[in-house]
Copies of this chain bind each other. A is one copy, B any other.
Amino acid sequence: MPAAGSAFVQLHQHLHQTRLLGSISSALYYDQNTVMPAAGAAWRGEQLALLAGQQHQRQSSAVYAELVAAAEAELDADAPPERRRNLELLRLELERQRCLDPALVSALAKAQSRGNAVWQDARARNDFRAFAPALQQLIALRRQQASQLAAAEPVARSPWEILAQPFEPDVSKARLEELFAPLKAELPALLARVATVGARSTDAVASGHRAELPEALQEQLCAELLDSWGYDPSRCQRSRSAHPFSCTLGPQDFRITTRVVPGQPLSAFLATAHEWGHSLYEQGLPRSDDHYFPWPLGEATSMGVHESQSLFWECRVARSRAFAERWHPRFCAGLGSGPASDPWGGAFGFWRALNPLRPGLIRVEADELSYCLHIVLRFELELALLEQDMPVEDLPQQWNQRMQDLLGIQPQTDAEGCLQDIHWAEGLFGYFPSYALGHLISAQLSESMETEIGSIQGLIASGQPSALQAWLAQRVWPLGRSVNGEELVQQLTGRPLSSEPFLTYLERKVEALTVDP
């Protein structure tokens, strides 16, 4: 540790306070989405805006810039590589902040807020034309932002690539197109195969879906799941919210939320698995003695890696056959005895109910087969809107056409088409691909995990989920931002990220799911 008065220590104190402010915002966000009464929204908005202003000020002030420069000047040949990396990441973020015209920052904040409000209304009324001008304005402002940010980029990047950097550092369009091409080529065929043989299993799945699990039972099963996966109530808290999420309120304070969805009896359970995966990653990030907490190295490296961790626990574990076999008796026991106690007709039926494979219109309800196609569609449309001058007015028709091409279905309304997601309504471009990258990263890491500790299915079957966690805790979580997402995969698997492990995994799963039991 450097001397007490050093620039590095001063910078640490500055970052520590900035992180305190950020985590206060997270606490307010958590409260807002779990218990805040509706009428509290306006005041809460003012509280959050005040904190955001303070945070922005701290992250772009001359004082802060001088602290970073002084800490850089202190770096000598003996400086630990972690410190060098931390300062590099801070410098990049600082340069980005300094490129931005404050007038644009403010205009964007207003447009995002307006975009959200207009979208809520337009979606409710299925009126894309009401939303189009707000979207048009957001696109124009984000393009402007990308052009201002271009000066800070260490390499030449297109506007979309620049906007995607905060979510997926160093991502490029070419690389995404390369990764997504096999998905576009092979997933539709897999979906078709399921559709052909799926008719036989439809009844079992539908019956399993009709099973109504009492709310208290769903809550209890979620609690049992978390207990068996190392949930520690002295550091974690689970609440209810309208949409499930996970957030970190402090170095020892982790929250997740779930919801019970009427008519979707397994939704809360799978969402719990998903959000807990996010939380485990956050809990495992490098922060020995909380030292790294305010530093970049203590942060998640990308949204793709974050998503790989939630998808691992949701799809590779909770939707797996071995897991279905272990948990089927618990679900049935909760339903008592008698004919209603096993609406799935056995463990295999329960596994099928955990894995409905049917293309649908809504991304957030999509299964493992079609999910990435929803992402490819959005990625390509974002490029068209931001970089290829596609008129905003063409969006509904383009959306529907691509849904037909990729998934073989078409929405009847824009509300269940191009108005379904909140992202664009808040000017969030460049985010969607991370969801698909999460699937690919999870699959490729799983292969390496199996090489090193044996079959995931075997470990689940023998009741050792802690072995899976231990591997992730040792290999993945402590990396923080020392590597980006692609580097993380290369380092842990010995080869570049590819879509092949994911496709192989899906082919095997489809095969097993569609045979007669």
Q: Assess the A24–B24 pair: CB atoms within 8 A.
A: yes
Q: A40-B250, A43-B250 are in contact. Are A239 and B35 (CB under 8 A)?
A: yes
How distant is the Cα of A30 from the Cα of B35 in the complex, in angstroms?
Answer: 11
Q: Assess the B252–A43 pair: CB atoms within 8 A.
A: yes
Q: Assess the B42–A31 pair: CB atoms within 8 A.
A: no
How distant is the Cα of A251 from the Cα of B50 in the complex, in angstroms?
Answer: 16
Q: A21-B50, A50-B20 are in contact. Are A234 and B37 (CB under 8 A)?
A: yes
Other-chain contact of A252, B24, B42, B47, B250 (Cβ < 8 Å): B42
Q: Assess the A249–B40 pair: CB atoms within 8 A.
A: yes
Q: Does A39 contact B (CB under 8 A)?
A: yes
Q: A20-B46, A47-B20, A47-B23 are in contact. Are A235 and B39 (CB under 8 A)?
A: yes
Copies of this chain present? 2
Q: Assess the A40–B235 pair: CB atoms within 8 A.
A: yes
Interface of A is mostly: helix
A214 → chain B, closest Cβ, in Å?
14
Contacts of A50 in B (CB 8 A): 17, 20-21, 24
Q: Assess the B237–A44 pair: CB atoms within 8 A.
A: no
Q: Does A233 contact B (CB under 8 A)?
A: yes
Contacts of A21 in B (CB 8 A): 50
How distant is the Cα of A249 from the Cα of B37 in the complex, in angstroms?
Answer: 10
The residue in chain B whose Cβ has the minimal distance to the Cβ of A32 is B27
Q: A20-B47, A24-B28, A43-B250 are in contact. Are A37 and B235 (CB under 8 A)?
A: yes
Contacts of A24 in B (CB 8 A): 24, 28, 47, 50-51
Q: Does A253 contact B (CB under 8 A)?
A: yes
Q: Does A38 contact B (CB under 8 A)?
A: yes
Contacts of A30 in B (CB 8 A): 31
Besides the known contacts A27-B47, A43-B250, 4 further A-B residue pairs in the complex with CB atoms under 8 A apart: A17-B50, A37-B234, A39-B235, A47-B250
